[in-house]
Amino acid sequence: MLDWSKCQAVERGPGKSRCMWRFKGTPVPVTLLFENLEDGATVNDFLEWYPGVTRRQVVAVLEFAERSLIEA
């Protein structure tokens, strides 16, 4: 399991969803990125569908996930 607390592009959601990691400053869960990519969406698609998320955040999350898998 990834330790998202070490990724600066994400934060825990407030209230009931505080266990969900979200793109910082948005209500968009990080899991949505991976679900959409698995379903065949592109990063550009995701950014269009979730305009509060920045390309920089997406790249940071993908790079963090990649590094975490390599180090595991």
The answer to whether the beta carbons of residues 13 and 22 sit under 8 Å apart is yes
| pLDDT tens profile 47-57 | 999 999 999 99
| Sole residue written with tokens 């592009």 | 9
The structure's pTM equals: 0.89
Q: Which fold would CATH assign to domain 4-71?
A: Arc Repressor Mutant, subunit A (1.10.10)
SS3 for 15-36, per residue? HHHCCCEEECCCCCEHHHHHHH
Higher pLDDT, 29 or 68: 29
- On whether the CB atoms of residues 10 and 22 are closer than 8 A, the answer is yes
**Shortest CA distance to 46 belongs to which of 61, 59, 36?**
36
Q: Which residue has the higher pLDDT, 19 or 46?
A: 46
Alpha-carbon distance 64 to 51, whole Å?
21
